[in-house]
Amino acid sequence: MELANMSRFAARSARKVHAVRYYSIVHDVPRGGPSLGQAPPPPQAQGQSVFDQAVNALGPRNNWTKEEISQIHQKPLMELAFAAGTVHRRFHKPSAVQLCTLMNIKTGGCTEDCSYCAQSSRYKTNLTATKLSNVESVIEAAKVAKANGSNRFCMGAAWRDMRGRKRGLKNIVEMIKGVRGLGMEACVTLGMVDKEQAMELKEAGLTAYNHNLDTSREHYPNVITTRSYDERLQTLQNVREAGIHVCSGGILGLGETPQTDHVGLIYTLATLPEHPESFPVNKLVPIKGTPMFGQDPVKLEDMVRCIATARLVMPSTIIRIAAGRVTMPESEQMLCFMAGANAIFTGEKMLTTDCNGWDQDKDMFNRWGLSPMQTEASRIAAEPKFEAQSFAHMRGEDESAPQSQA
């Protein structure tokens, strides 16, 4: 009798563990489908602190207050990072890090005044503006990225918005189709898009749309004046309603106050109807000629604290270390992974900023026991075989060109 009771207890325990042990899998999202929705927050034990509730969460919640996120953000860093790593292991495979590659498909000439960006036509950064890349060159670049292990290919164009760009959008649709045909996730960042344009991108098979908020609502006017915070949020809504994954994050080191502005950025994204599928964390790369040149670099502890807080508040989201990683020693990158980051940009450029190379990242993965994350959205085609090579060379680009922020 006692043996039978023990067996039933073991079975119940196994079912309980299975119910909460799930990992990051990026699926294609049907338009308006239920997979975009998130379950309401699970019931919390009475008397638990906000921090304990976040640590013990079994699913995402969208009703955070700014004060609650601030409480989490201000925990002692060692305790915060350990807790974030614990939650990370509940929702994601701890050794899996997604490899993403970003290509600038249209450089410079942007009319915006983003004070960190070399691609703004308002600043003298010696960047030469280019036209939109042709479809064939983009697909060839994606093949190179695929051969080097990336399973997400991102394409960025220096535009304020997509108004009047029907021909450009048509070409980008073909780029998306080509990238997806290789068995890769496809992401684009094209500035503001309306609902109709978002729907056209969805029909092409787009996996995700990147549109960063950059910083908190309060600090935003100190960084950009030509596009409002609400316009950025409207683009995120258009993308989300089209059934495309939202990729949205920020840039750290824009002269903000981490205790309020990092919290404010996370608060805005964590209280959207659905958490973003991915949260890029960019470290400012100061560009000579831009108003942000000369800014003090963001402190490592502030970057780790931001990543850890985002992991606790948005547990299912993929957190990407983006621009500026090339300035971080390997040990600093590992602290970010241990605090909940699980994606990187790798290759040759981050738009026009330098990027850690594929071989460099492969060596790092081998040293630390990391492995490339596999996702459902990148399993739509047979594994093609391509010869790894430099796509900057293929495009005939000058690799010493000036840099801008991703």
Q: What is the DSSP string of 185-253?
A: EEEEE-SB--HHHHHHHHHHT--EEE---BS-TTTGGGT-SSS-HHHHHHHHHHHHHHTPEEE--EEE-
pLDDT at 253: 96
Give the pLDDT confidence score for residue 404 in this predicted structure: 44
User: What was the pLDDT predicted at 351?
Assistant: 64
At residue 327, does pLDDT exceed 50?
yes
- Among residues 300, 295, 248, the alpha carbon closest in space to that of 271 is found at 248
- Whole-angstrom distance, CA of residue 395 vs CA of residue 406: 20
Q: What is the pLDDT of residue 158?
A: 84
Q: How would you write 99-117 as a 3-class SS string? A: EEEEEEEECCCECCCCCCC
Res. 44 pLDDT band, cuts 50 70 90: low
81-93: average pLDDT: 97
Contact 156, 351 (CB under 8 A): yes
Q: How confident is the model at residue 124 (pLDDT cuts 50, 70, 90)?
A: confident
Distance separating alpha carbons of residues 406 and 404, to the nearest angstrom? 7
**354 has pLDDT over 80:** no
Tell me the longest C-alpha to C-alpha distance in the chain: 82
Helix axes 229-242 and 195-204, enclosed angle (nearest 10):
40
Q: How far apart are CA 364 and CA 289, in angstroms?
A: 33
Question: What is the structure's pLDDT at 403?
Answer: 43
pLDDT for residue 40: 54
Residue 375 is predicted with a pLDDT of 86
Closest by Cα among 207, 130, 202 to 169: 202
Q: Where are the extended beta strands (E) located within 276-366?
A: 278-283, 318-321, 343-345, 349-350, 353-354
Q: Residue 175 pLDDT more than 60?
A: yes
Does 10 have pLDDT greater than 60?
A: no
* Reported confidence tier of residue 394, pLDDT bands at 50, 70, 90: very low
Query: How far apart are the C-alpha atoms of 207 and 57, rounded to whole Å?
Result: 27
Please tell me the predicted confidence (pLDDT) of residue 33.
41
Q: What is the mean pLDDT of residues 210-221?
A: 97
- Report the Cα 101 to chain-centroid distance in Å: 12
The proportion of the chain whose per-residue pLDDT surpasses 90, expressed as a percent, equals 66
**Could you please report the per-residue DSSP string of 65-92?**
-HHHHHHHHTS-HHHHHHHHHHHHHHHS
Per-range mean pLDDT, top range of 104-108, 199-203, 291-295, 356-360: 199-203
Lowest mean pLDDT among 189-203, 248-262, 366-380: 366-380
Positive/negative CA dihedral, 159, 161, 162, 164? negative
Residue type, 12: R
Task: Output 234 or 12, whichever has higher pLDDT.
Answer: 234
Computed over every residue of the chain, the mean pLDDT equals: 85
Listed in sequence order, the residues at least 6 apart from 23 whose beta carbon sits closer than 8 Å to its beta carbon are 91, 92, 93, 96
132 vs 11: which has the higher pLDDT = 132
| Contact (CB, 8 A) for 182 and 384 | yes
- Do 65 and 270 meet the contact criterion of CB atoms below 8 Å apart? no
Structure tokens at 373: 């994350």
What are the residue ranges of helices labelled H in 107-165? 135-147
pLDDT at 18: 40
Q: Which amino acid is at 400?
A: S
In CATH terms, the superfamily for domain 96-377 is Aldolase class I (3.20.20.70)
CB-CB contact of 293 with 287 (8 Å): yes
Which DSSP helix (H) or strand (E) runs through 168? Answer: helix 166-181
Query: Is the pLDDT reported for residue 380 higher than 80?
Result: no
- pLDDT on residue 24: 57
- Angle among Cα 209, 138, 290 to the nearest 5 degrees reads 65
Which of 60-74, 119-133, 146-160, 185-199 shows the lowest per-residue confidence on average (mean pLDDT)? 119-133
Residues that are catalytic: 110, 114, 117, 154, 187, 247, 320
- Cα separations (Å) of 315 from 30, 55, 91, 259? 22, 10, 7, 20
Answer yes or no: is pLDDT of 277 > 90: yes
d(CA 33, CA 266): 25
Cβ proximity of 370 and 361 under 8 Å: no
Select the more confidently predicted residue: 382 or 328: 328
